Structure formats: structure tokens, C-alpha cells
A = this chain, B = another copy of it.
């Protein structure tokens, strides 16, 4: 079981995404989205071909093998998941959430990943969209102040959701 570098995983993800939106993937496209020059792409792709993640004929288009696609799917799934967390929980902009997700994705352990999954699912299953605490948290992020009491509007200082009086 070949273990890829973070950078190689980026290439795999990029191929996967390009393939989804553009049908064919060229060296030039990859270079452009990854912010590198063509020869760099050729070098990395050559390694990915050797380890069986990528197919390409000489001077031809780039595509993922079954193996490559399975891995890419998994990686992109994780990335999307993290992006969702950064965007919906931490209220980052879509762009910044994406940047963070893309780089962080490589480095979390499987259990950690599972916990992020659980966190998101918890919100969906048990919070019905946007639970109160999450609204409170967003308020806190924006203003730096504790959220107002549900009943009277005073700032919270007692238990969760409650002010001094309630």
C-alpha cells in the first residue's frame, strides 16, 4: 500500500475535481490550478503513474485509475467535510474554509476525521439545522460578547442560555 505525500494527494484531488467539471485533464490545467509549471506536473504525474493512481498516454490526457479515483474520492470527501465544518461552525468564508480544509485534510488522523464527521452529523440529526448554541456562538464570534438571554435579552452570565435572573 503506497503512501502518498501531501503534495501528491493534492495532485490527485485536483485531477478528480477537474475531471468532474471538464471531462479531460491536461498537464497545463493541473499546472494552472496547482500554481506550478508544467515540468513540475509532469514529474509528479510520472510518480503517480508508477504507483498506479494515474493513467496517461504519451502527450495525452491525464486520468485516474480506479485505484486513483477511489483514493481521490475519499480525499475530496474529507476535504468537503472539513470545509463544511470551517464554514458552518467557525463561520469562515467559503474561500478561506476551502483553503484550510485543503491543507488540513492531509494531516488529521482517521479517528479525528471520524469525529469531525460525527460533529457535522450531530448538528444535522440532533440540531435540526441551526441549534441555539450555534447561533449564540456566531453572535459571540462577531461581537466578542456573550449572547443575549433568550427570555429578557440581558447578556448571559449564568448557565447556558440563561442570564442572572433566569
Residues of A within 8 A of B (CB): 86, 89-92, 96, 99-100, 103-104, 107-109, 111-112, 115-116, 118-119, 121-122, 125-128, 131-133, 136-137, 140-141, 146-147, 156, 158-160
Complex Cα–Cα for A156 and B92 (A): 29
5 more CB-based (< 8 A) A-B contacts, given A86-B112, A92-B112, A100-B108: A90-B118, A122-B136, A126-B140, A126-B146, A128-B158
Assuming the contacts A112-B90, A116-B90, asked whether A146 and B160 have C-beta atoms less than 8 A apart, the reply is: no
Most buried by B among A112, A116, A121, A132: A112
A-B contact list, 10 entries, CB within 8 Å? A90-B116, A90-B118, A91-B115, A118-B137, A119-B137, A122-B137, A127-B133, A127-B160, A132-B160, A133-B160
